[in-house]
Amino acid sequence: MSSIFTSSIGKKFLMSLAGLFLITFLLVHMGLNLLVIINDDPMVFNKAAHFMGTNILIKVFEFVLFGGFLLHIIYALILQAQNWLARPKRYHKFSKSDTSPFSRWMIHTAVIILVFLVIHMVDFYFKAKFGHAEDIVMNGITYHDLASLIIAKFQIPGYVIFYLVAFLLLGFHLLHGFQSAFKTLGLNDKTYTPVIRVLSILYTVVVVAGFSAIPLVIYFK
- The CATH number linked to 110 is 1.20.1300
Distance between CA atoms of residues 66 and 25, nearest Å: 11
How many Å apart are CA 216 and CA 170, to the nearest integer? 17
This prediction's pTM = 0.77
Residue 137 CB burial class (10 angstroms; 0-12, 13-18, ≥19)? exposed
Q: Per the domain annotation, does 145 fall within a domain?
A: yes
Which pLDDT belongs to residue 216? 96
CA distances from 153 to 77, 128, 149, 165, 180 (A): 31, 14, 6, 16, 34
Residue 146 forms part of a structural domain: yes
Q: Which domain holds residue 118?
A: 3-87+101-220
The pLDDT assigned to 94 comes to 47
| CB-CB contact of 173 with 105 (8 Å) | no
Total domain count, the chain: 1
Residue 93 lies in a domain: no
Instruction: Kindly state whether residue 95 falls inside one of the protein's structural domains.
Output: no
The answer to whether residue 208 is domain-embedded is: yes
- Residue 36 domain-assigned? yes
Q: Are 68 and 15 in contact (CB under 8 A)?
A: no
Number of C-beta neighbours around residue 206 at 10 A:
13
Q: Note whether residue 96 is domain-resident.
A: no
Which segments in the chain show pLDDT lower than 50? 2, 91-98
Would residue 112 count as lying in a domain?
yes
